[in-house]
Structure 1
Amino acid sequence: MKAIVIYQYGSPDVLRYEDISTPSIKPDQVLVKIHASSVNPVDWKIRQGLLQPLSGYNFPKVLGSDLSGEIVEVGEQATRWRVGDQVYTFVNPLFGGAYGEYVAVPAANVSYKPQNISYTEAATVPVAGLTALQGLLDLGQLRPGQRVLINGASGGVGTFAVQIAVAMNADVTGVCGTANVDFVKRLGAHTVIDYTQEDFTLQEIQYDIIFDAVGKQSFFNCQKVLQSDGIYISTVPTVDNMGATLQTLLFSSQKCKLVLAQPSRRDLDALRDLIEAGKVKTVIDRTYSLSDIAEAHTYSEMGRTVGKIAITVNEGLQTINID
């Protein structure tokens, strides 16, 4: 099968599009023929070698985590699934495998793909969507009527976080750059702050939840705009936030928490329900073919992505870009 392989850490130039062996499955796994994947910042951070203590030093490596496709082989213990089922999920980005034509996936982590969107759209959901859902609902314990601020509201995680919070009937404030203010309003945010014009940490308004989807502010910077029992959630484990997480665990009514998405059929089912109900839409900035993954990584590294970057693995699939 074709896949994207690296033999060393480095720039996008280390990405190789070549033939490798199709993976075999274990009894509790399914083999998925991948129709589409997407780019997450963790993918190119691994490629750059920024996560070497976790990603290790064994090569070659196949990168990629998000995927949608169809099941072509079922392990003897994976009795829930059938060949031909349309599914979506993600694999651990540290081990990768989604930048290829086939991948073996634990059957327990797989969910049916939303029926009202394409494979390309579905592949942009798992990592970003689960990060937003698990951050807001599991860590933040989001309840209707709460005041929520999403920092980085126009990015991959942020676009999902805004829509999920709106669907939960929260009072949602989005923070983004000038060019994306109207876009974030269309996502449903009740208030939008242009960070080039206003620093939300200097406001008098206080929030029940601050979800920092880009890791640009620390818990300590946000404390004065958090309610006395408010929760700050970040996607980036900086030294400050890791320290604050431990400190607030025991000694503060305000809490700092870090979110790292975990594959979950239950949560993927919940996202599917929201998508099929029209409450959450995928947002695709650009679409690349698998063989053009180096260009996709280069664009992602620029930090200007609105929503997600999609990767088509099989040519000829329909791609739907949502403005």
Structure 2
Amino acid sequence: MNDRTMKAVLFDRYGAPEVLYVGRVPRPEPAPGEVLVRVCAFSVNGGETAARAGRVRLLTGRRFPQRIGLDFTGEVAELGAGAAGVAVGDRVWGVLGRTSGFGSAAEYVTVPAGRLGRVPDSLDLVDAAALPVATTAVTALRDKAALRPGERLLVRGAAGGVGNAAVQLGQAYGAEVTALARAANLDFVRALGAHRAVDHRAVRPAELGRFDVVVDTVGTDLRTFRGLLRPAGRMVTIAFDSARPVASLGYIAASAIHGHGRVRFFSGNPVREHFDDLARHVVEGRLRPAVDTVFPLEETAAAHRALEAGGVRGKYVVRVDQSLG
């Protein structure tokens, strides 16, 4: 077999998780400033399931086969010319950039050296794969919302990948954290540090009270949850309603002009500084990985199916290389 190829998860048409399969593609070569990473594991994210289903095909287009995978952990295998800050053999984590698209669901991935960070020695690489998206929670709470000790924080989607990190970090930053999750996950989010855990299907939003900061990972009903903000409150969302993308994004944009409490929307685009922050939070005990289930690469479709079924506690992780850990 040609050793310049590798396994990767692909799909040839939009559809249900069953469209995913493991095929072979050319192994990438690191360009100047890039790093070739041998992938240990990656996690499954909502944006990927939406892309695979064709709900954002205006962005993803109609060229096939397409790839999946946004984040990853692994080991540096090769350095491109001029790549600095990491060395061959380093244990690293990263997230592909906005312009790179998907593609970490593979045996190897190339990424600019500045978009990688070193995984703390205390973490197994499989467990660590649950945390790269936690950089989004750090950015949301610290940079976008400027959360302060003593403030009231509402986390919507608190049991998910970004949500569980927001609960942990909100508590560590000194906020009073209310976590919205399914009934079956309430004990889980309490164990993460939530001061109040609420079944989102049993309580109307208006009954929750008022908050200084709302972190939304769901993307629907933004107007309703924006209405829970106190004066000078801040709302951050990392999602939009994929069933009504134009209207959803339009509302987010209009919130900066009409009424109080702008809805700040962003997608994670972390660089080394963010991963250094992430590692520091882990080492200081503020943040720990939450892995629901680990799937082998050949069962990536099952991981997508499980995420779409709802009820995840933390992250579904897919292990690519059994020899790394």
**Same fold by TM-score, threshold 0.5 exceeded?**
yes
Q: Which residue of 2 aligns with 1:118?
A: 124
Aligned to 2:3: none
Conservation of the 8 A alpha-carbon contact between 1:70 and 1:86: yes
Say if 2:190 is the partner of 1:181. Answer: no
- Listed one character per residue, the Cα deviations across residues 116-154 of structure 1 (whole Å, up to 9, x for unaligned) are 111111112112x12212222221111222110111111
Asked if 1:3 is matched to 2:3, the reply is no
**C-alpha distance in structure 1 between counterparts of 2:109 and 2:150, whole Å:** 42
Q: Does the alignment pair 1:206 with 2:210?
A: yes
Look up the match of 1:321: none
State yes or no: 1:311 paired with 2:311.
no
Task: Count residues with an aligned counterpart.
Answer: 315
The more displaced of 245-254 and 222-231 is 245-254
Give aligned-pair identity as a percent. Answer: 33
Task: Give, as a single letter, the amino acid of the residue that structure 1 aligns with 2:292.
Answer: D
Q: 2:228: which partner in 1?
A: 225
Unaligned stretches of 5+ residues in structure 2: 1-5
Structure 1 residue aligned with 2:112:
106
- Once residues 248 and 55 of structure 2 are traced to their aligned partners in structure 1, the CA distance between those partners, rounded to angstroms, is 18
Cα 1:6/1:89, change in 2 over 3 Å:
same
Distance in 1 between the 2:16 and 2:190 partners? 36
Q: Which residue of 1 aligns with 2:52?
A: 47
Alpha-carbon deviations, 1:145-198, whole Å to 9, x = none?
211011111111110110011111111111112111111111111112222332
Over 3 Å counting, the alpha-carbon distance change for 1:172 and 1:141 in structure 2 is same
User: Is the alpha carbon distance of 1:95 and 1:243 closer, same or farther for their aligned partners in structure 2, counting shifts above 3 Å?
Assistant: closer
Q: Retained in 2: the 8 A contact 1:30–1:104?
A: yes
> 2:220 aligned with 1:191, yes or no?
no
Match of 1:88 among 78, 93, 105: 93
Aligned to 1:236: 239
Equivalent-residue separation in structure 1 for 2:305 and 2:264 (angstroms): 30
1:144 matches 2:149: yes
Instruction: Return 5+ residue gaps in structure 1 as ranges.
Output: 319-323
> Which AA in structure 2 matches 1:173?
T
**Structure 2 CA distance for aligned equivalents of residues 223 and 23 of structure 1:** 44
Alignment deviations for residues 33-78 of structure 1 (CA, whole Å, 9 cap, x no partner) = 0011111111121111112111122222221111000111111121
Task: Say whether the 8 Å CA contact 1:31–1:71 is kept in structure 2.
Answer: yes
Following the alignment from structure 1 to structure 2, what is the Cα–Cα distance between the partners of residues 226 and 92? 32
